[in-house]
Amino acid sequence: MRSAQNLNWTFEKDVSGHYSYDQAQLAVLIDIREELKAMNLKLNVLQCRDFLQIPHKLDAIKRNTNRKKKPQPKGSMKP
């Protein structure tokens, strides 16, 4: 079946004007296959080294830009 993976599958109605259950199943599987191929392409892009470094860069920016809390004098109380 792998040799027929990129064929254009067309479905024809039977004599009563309906599609068969087998055709419906095959159509759903073809749709799932197309979605999985699209997801695979997107995930391959996500494996880019520069893209994977973004969370680390954001964490470094957060650490460098966080304000330090000013120490409170020991005798003072907040109202």
Q: Give 15-73 pLDDT, tens digit per residue.
A: 787 777 777 888 888 888 888 888 888 877 767 777 778 888 888 888 888 777 777 77
Write down the domain spans for the chain: 18-54
pTM (whole model) above 0.75:
no
Q: What's residue 15's pLDDT?
A: 77
DSSP for 21-78, written as a single string: HHHHHHHHHHHHHHHHHHHHHHHHHHT-HHHHTHHHHHHHHHHHHPPPPPPPPTT---
